[in-house]
Chain A
Amino acid sequence: MRPDGEGEGLRHIHQPIRHDAADRHVTGSAPYIDDIREPEGTLHVVPGGAPVAHGRLVRLDLAAVRAVPGVVAVLTAADIPAVNDVSPVAGDDPLFAVDTIAFHGQPLFAVVAESRDTARRAVRLAVIAVAEEPPLVDVADALAADADLMPAYAFRRGDPEAVLAASPAPVAGTLRIGGQEHFYLEGQAALVIPEEDGTYLIHSSTQHPSEVQHVVARVLGITDAAIEVAVRRMGGGFGGKESQASGWAAMAALAARVTGRPAKIRLDRDDDFIMTGKRHDFLVSYRAAHDPGGRVEAVEVRFAGRCGYSHDLSSSINDRTMFHADNAYFYPQVHIHSRRLKTHTVSNTAFRGFGGPQGMVFAEHLMDRIAWATGRDPLDVRYANLYGTDERNITPYGMVVEDNVAEALMRQLEATSDYRARRAATAAFNAGSRVLKKGIALTPVKFGISFTTTFLNQAGALVHVYQDGSIHLNHGGTEMGQGLFVKVAQVVAEEFGVALDRVRITATHTGKVPNTSPTAASSGTDMNGMAAKAAAAEIKGRIAEFIARDWQVPVASIAFRDDRVWSGERSLSFAEVVKKAYLARTHLSAAGFYATPKITWDRPKATGRPFFYFAYGASCSEVTIDTLTGEFTVDRVDILHDAGRSLNPAIDIGQIEGGFVQGMGWLTMEELVFDAKGRLRTHAPSTYKIPTARDVPEDFRVAFFDNPNREDTIYRSKAIGEPPLMLANSVFCAIADAVHALAPGRAVALDAPATPEAILFACSKQTGEG
C-alpha cells in the first residue's frame, strides 16, 4: 500500500505520454520566435558590443553606420525614454553602456535595419574609442583586487576551526570549477509588435515573461498593463533565459518605439555567447577534519564565485552553492563561506542547478579526498557521512532533513550496478594495463526544491471550458522542452476525466496569468500543476453542483471519468453536460493559484526551511583514461533517481538523461576560455564543445527509485528539472579515481572541467613527473 493512496485508476497521471509538440518538432512545424510570420515592415535589430573588457568610452561615432542604405535607426542610451536598466534585481545592467565599459561585448548601441544582414554588416562600421583599463578577468584577479560585488555570506555551526586545529591529519586543498555556456539551440530572440495607444505585444524566448514585461515597461516608461508578453515555446532555456532574455526584448521594444514598426532581434550565436551570462565558475578552498574511518568532524570551505560585472541573480545563485556544499552529507561542525566577486566579464546567471552543482562537486571531491587519505573505498566514506534520518539530520542552515532516502537509494544502486565487483575488476584491469587506467565512482544527489527567494514560490493558472466541451489551458509556466505543458495538461485532463486531446495547451501569456514567477528552480510542474488543478477543480465543482441540481442527486455522487459525467449508473457526455451547464448560466472559467507551503527562510540569521523537500538520486560511472594523452571514455553509467511518483515517466527519463549528459559536458569537455584581455575565446560551437551522441555511453541504465513524495505535491511527484544534472558528478569522480590508480594514497589534483589537458597534467602530478 502506497502512503499516498493515490495512483489507482488514474488515466493520464503517471503515464509515459509523449511531448505535446512531438509531431510538430519532427516535421519542423513548431514555430520558434524567428519562425513566426513577420508583420509587414518588420525591422531587424542587431546589437553592437564593446571592443574591450574595461575602460571609459571616449567616442562612439555611428555616422558610418547610419549612412548604410537600409539602416532605419541606430539606438543608443540617448534613445531610451525612461530607465537605462534591464537588470532583474539590482539596477546595474544598462541596456546600453554609456561611460563605463564593464565587459567585452557589452552592448553600446543597436542597429535597426530592413534586413538582418544589413544590420549585421552595418554594426561593424561603428568607430569606437575606449580609454582602456586593465580588466579583472578571473576569480584569482578579483581575489587579488578584493573585488567583492556584494557582501560575503556564511553559514556556521559549532567551532570547526578548533576541531581542525586539534585534528592530527586534516585534509586541505583547492579546487577550480569551471563555468558553462547554456548553448540553448534557439538563441536569444524577441519579436515586438507595436499596437494601439502605445501598447506592445512581445513574443519572447524567455523563461520569465513577467520580467520581460517589467523590464520593457521600465525602459520605455510605460505601465506593465501596456505590455503583453507571449511565449509558446523556447528552443531550450536551461536558466539562460530566466533573467537574460529581458534585455534583448527591451532592445527590440525600443526599436519598435523609436521607429513605430515591428522589430525583431535574434542574436547571432557568437554574440549570444559573448553577450549573455553563464554558469558561475568557482575557486574553492577547504580544510576538513575526519576520524580514522573517514567520517567528517569539521569542514571549513570558502567559495569564491565569479559573478561578472553585475549582480544579476548572483546573490541567490551563490547562496544555493552554500545550501548544497553539504550535498547529502552531515558536517557536524562547519563554516561555509562565500565571496561573490566582480570581474570585467559578462554577468553570470542562472544555469540548471543554480549554483548548487558547484557546491556538490566540492562535497564529492571532499569525500574522495578523505577516501584517498584513509585508504577506504570512496563509496564507504560516502556512506559514513550521509545525513541520518533521526539524528545527524540538520543542515548547516538549520533545516531538518525529513525525507532522507539517500542511503537506501545508494545501496540499491550499489547492488544493481554491481559496484563492488566492478570496483575489483577495475583494480585488476589497472594492475595489468600500462597506458589505460579505469576508474569508477558512485555519488549521490540531494537537491533542495523551492526558490530560496520565498516570494517566488507562487503560481497561477487559467482554465476555460467552452460550450463544446473543449478546454483551454493556460498557466504561468513556460515550455522550454522540459515537457511542462504536457504534464500540466495531464493534470487538467485527469481532473475533468477527459481525453488529453480535449485540453488545448496555449502559449504562456502575461495577459492571461499575471505576476508569474520564472519557470526555474525545477518548480514548474509542482507549482503550475497545482494551480491548474485548482482552477480545473473549481470549474468541475460548479459543473457538479449544477448537474446534481439538474439530476436531483447529491453533489457527492457526481463523478467525472471516461469523458462523461456520472451519478451512479446515470451519465452524460462531458460535452453535453458542459452545454447544459452553460445554458443554465454556469461560470465555466476559473483562475487557479498555488503558494508552496511550509517554507521559511531568514537570510540574515541563516536559518529556516528554504526547501519544501529534497529530490534524491545517485549514479555510478565507469571511465577509462589514456594516461599518455589525457583522453577518456565513459564506459558505463547506472542511474537511480527519485522523481517521487513520476507524473510522466517518459518526460522524466528525458530530464534525467538530458540533465546527466549536460552535467557531464560541464565537468569534462565544456571549457570557457577568456584571454588576458577578458575576451571570451570559445564563443561558438566550433570552439566550445558540448557532448555529441558518441559521448554518451552505450551502456546507460536509468531507473526510478520508487519514493512517493512525503509532501503533498502534485500527485506525489518530485521536481525533475535540475537534480539530474548533478548525477554527472560520478563521471568527474570516476576520472579522478582512474588518475588515483597511478599512485594510490596520493591526492589527485584534478580541476573541472576534466579536459584531456587537465587529466594528463593530473596524471603527471600523480606520478610525480609534473
Chain B
Amino acid sequence: MTTTRPIRFLHRGTLVEAAGFAPMTTVLDWLRLDRRLTGTKEGCGEGDCGACTVALGRVKDGRLVYEPANACILLLGQLDGAELVTVEDLAADGQLHPVQQALVDHHGSQCGFCTPGFVMSLFTLYHDAGGARDRAAVLSRLAGNLCRCTGYRPIVDAALAACAAPPADGHHDRRTASAAILAGLADTADVCVGDENAFFAAPASLDALAALMESHPDATLVGGATDVGLWITKQLRTLPKLVHTGRVAALRAIEQTATALTIGAAVTYAEAETALGALDPDIALLIDRLGSAQVRAAGTIGGNVANGSPIGDMPPLLIALGATVTLRCGGSVRLLPLEHFFLAYGRQDRAPGEILTHVTVPRPEAGDHLRVFKIAKRHDQDISAVMMALKVRLDGRRIAAARTAFGGMAGIPKRATAVEQALAGVCVDDTGAIAAAVARLRDDFAPLDDHRASAAYRLRVAGNLITKGLMEIAAGERSSTRLVPLREAHHAA
C-alpha cells in the first residue's frame, strides 16, 4: 500500500498529526494514557454509560457541528478531520462554561464520575442552536449518559437552563475560524497509518476503498466502531488491519427520489434520521430510541446491516420496507434483497473483501400502513428483546398484502412469511382471522430464552405486536395504544 498521509485533527487549538499509533488505539486511551488528560472517564469501556463522552466538531452543510462520541470505543484514526473537545477545554479564564455552571447551580453532580460525560453531551446540545433544545431534546441527547446518583432531575433542569440562551462561548466565538481549519483538513487524500501488516486506513474514494479491500480481504471494515470498538475493548481481539469507511464521500450521501431512498453505507443514524423519519413517525421514534446520541452520531446504517446482528434495529424495518443492498467487490457490483443478505446466525452473503456500499429503501406507497415496535427493558439505549416492523397494504378494509419482519426472534432478522400469507385477504376488522394468522408465528419462529427475554415472552409479545399494529391500522389512529406519544422526528439541525 502506498503510504499517504497521517491522521490530522484539531485539539485544544492545535493541529495534531498522529502517525505512530497502534491501529486499535482508542481516543480514551490516547487522552488518558498518552496526553494524561484524565477528565474523560472510563465507566464501562463499551459505549453504554457515556462517562467518556467527548465532543467532535465537524463541518456539515457548511456549518461547524458538535456531536457527542464515546471515546472508549472511538478509534484515534476516526478523528481525522475533526475537532476533538474534552471536558478540560470548556472553562476559560477561570470561568465555568454555561453548561458547567448550570450543573453546579442545579446540584447536578453527586459522585461526579459521570459528570464530565454529561457536560460534554450537553455541550453538544448547547451548540445545537438550530435544533430543538426542549425537554424532549434533552432526554434524547442524554440517553447515553448514565448517572447512578442524582436521579437525573437536576441534570435535566440544568440542561434546560443552560440551553435557554443562544450559544455564547469560546467555541461559538471561534466557530468560523475552526470551521475554516477543519475545511482545510478535508482533502481527498487517502489516509493510512501503519504498514502492510498493521494499519489504520481511511480511503477518500470508493474506488480506493474497493481496491484496498480487494488487496486486504482480511481487513476489518469500520463504520462508526460502535460494534468493532467492543471487539477491541471487550473481546480483546487483535485486529491488525482496520479500514474506516467514514471518509468515502460516495458512502456518506443519501439520494432521494420519488420512489426510494438510497443511503450510503457510511451514513450515520443521525444523518439518516430526518430522511428515514419522514417516512413514518414510528421510524422517527425507532431511530430516537436506537442506541444513544453518541451511538447515533457514530454508528452507520451500513454497519448495522453488514454486521449481521440478529438484534440490530434497522434490518427488520428495512426488510419490511423491501430494501435492497448494493455490494461491491473490486470492480464488480451486485444487488441483493436485504432479507437474502442474512444467511444464518453470524453469516451473511458477503465475500471477503466485498463492501456493502448502499441500502435502497422503497418509499411506502399510498395504501401502505407501517408500524414499527421495539420491545426492551428500557425505553432508551437498550437492545431489543423483540423488534417488529409491519407493512400492510389495505384495499378498503381488506389486507391486500402484509410484510412483517422481526429481530430477536431468530438467528437472523427474518420475515414472518407464514403470518404474512395468513393475513393476505383478511379483513382488518376480523379479529378472529387476525388471531388465527398471528398464531402462525409458531411456524415462523422458535425463539430462544436469554437474558433479554424468555422464548415464551418473545412469542407472546411478537404476536401481540402484530395484533396491536393491525388494531391501530383498523382504528386509523395510534394515540390510545401508545405509552409514549408520537411526535415529529427530532431534527438535528
Contact = CB atoms under 8 A, between A and B. Distances in A.
Given A27-B88, A632-B483, A669 B96 contact: no
Contacts of B111: 184-186, 233-237, 480-481
B468 A629 contact: yes
B139 A685 contact: no
B49 interface: yes
Interface stretch (B37-45, B199-207, B296-304): B37-45
Given A628-B468, A693-B155, A693-B156, A24 B112 contact: yes
A30 interface: yes
Given A269-B46, A633-B483, A687-B452, A185 B375 contact: no
B262 interface: no
Interface residues of A, number: 88
A481 B112 contact: yes
B340 to A, nearest CB: 29
Contacts of B153: 657, 696, 700
B25 to A, nearest CB: 10
A125 to B, nearest CB: 11
Contact of A658 (B44, B49, B104, B151): B151
A144 interface: no
Interface residues of B, number: 84
B461 A651 contact: no
Interface in A187-202: 187
Contact of A660 (B44, B151, B450, B467): B151
Contact of A693 (B142, B236, B467, B471): B142
A398 interface: no
A73 to B, nearest CB: 20
Nearest to B144: A692
Interface stretch (B163-171, B379-387, B414-422): B379-387
Interface stretch (A342-350, A523-531, A753-761): A753-761
Contact of B139 (A435, A480, A694): A694
B461 to A, nearest CB: 6
B490 to A, nearest CB: 13
Contacts of B99: 26
Contact of A34 (B42, B454, B467): B42
A246 interface: no
A25 B156 contact: no
Interface in B67-102: 86-88, 90-91, 96, 99-101
A153 interface: no
A235 B113 contact: yes
Contact of A269 (B43, B138, B376, B451): B43
Interface string B433-469: 0000000000000000011111001001100110110
A24 B80 CA distance: 30
A608 interface: no
Given A30-B112, A689-B378, A681 B149 contact: no
B139 A626 contact: no
A181 to B, nearest CB: 10
A234 B149 CA distance: 12
A237 B112 CA distance: 12
Contacts of A682: 451
Contact of B379 (A37, A433, A695): A695
A361 interface: no
Contact of A690 (B91, B110, B146, B236): B146
Interface stretch (B114-122, B172-180, B211-219, B389-397): B114-122
Contact of A22 (B43, B46, B90, B104): B104
B270 interface: no
Given A629-B461, A684-B44, A22 B109 contact: yes
Contact of B148 (A23, A124, A662): A662
A692 B104 contact: no
A658 B91 contact: no
Contacts of B379: 692, 694-695
A704 interface: no
A708 interface: no
A183 interface: yes
B103 interface: yes
Interface in A718-770: 755-757, 760-761, 764
B30 interface: no
A685 B44 contact: yes
A221 to B, nearest CB: 34
Interface string A427-449: 00000011110000000000000
A577 B258 CA distance: 84
B39 A29 contact: yes
A35 B42 CA distance: 11
B154 interface: yes
A624 B377 contact: no
Nearest to B464: A628
Contacts of A673: 451
B412 to A, nearest CB: 20
B107 A658 contact: no
Nearest to A682: B451
A319 to B, nearest CB: 26
A760 B480 contact: no
Contacts of A436: 480-481, 483
B152 interface: yes
B458 to A, nearest CB: 9
B287 to A, nearest CB: 15
A698 B465 contact: no
Contacts of B43: 185-187, 269, 685
B148 A236 contact: yes
Contact of B149 (A435, A626, A658, A687): A658
A695 B109 contact: no
A181 B114 CA distance: 17
B480 A630 contact: no
A755 B381 CA distance: 16
Contacts of B42: 34
A32 B109 contact: no
Nearest to A29: B39
Interface string A684-716: 111101111111101010000000000000000
A26 B96 contact: yes
A96 interface: no
Contacts of A482: 110, 149
A61 B464 CA distance: 52
A51 interface: no
Interface in A633-665: 633, 650-651, 653-654, 657-662
B366 interface: no
Contacts of A653: 107
Contacts of B143: 692-694
B234 interface: yes
A19 B107 contact: yes
A208 B385 CA distance: 39
Given A435-B471, A658-B151, 6 more contacts: A26-B115, A27-B88, A235-B111, A235-B114, A238-B148, A685-B49
18 contacts: A22-B109, A25-B103, A28-B40, A32-B113, A34-B32, A185-B148, A233-B111, A235-B111, A235-B114, A236-B111, A481-B113, A624-B483, A650-B107, A686-B44, A687-B451, A693-B147, A694-B143, A756-B375
**What 8 A-B pairs have minimum CB-CB distances, sorted nearest first?**
A28-B39, A481-B111, A235-B113, A25-B112, A661-B151, A481-B110, A657-B151, A685-B48
Interface of A: 16, 18-19, 21-32, 34-35, 37, 120-121, 124, 182-187, 233-238, 268-270, 433-436, 480-483, 624-626, 628-633, 650-651, 653-654, 657-662, 669, 671, 673, 681-682, 684-687, 689-696, 698, 700, 755-757, 760-761, 764
Interface of B: 32, 36, 38-46, 48-49, 51, 86-88, 90-91, 96, 99-101, 103-105, 107-116, 119, 135, 138-139, 142-143, 145-156, 234, 236, 373, 375-383, 385, 450-454, 457, 460-461, 464-465, 467-468, 471, 480-481, 483-484
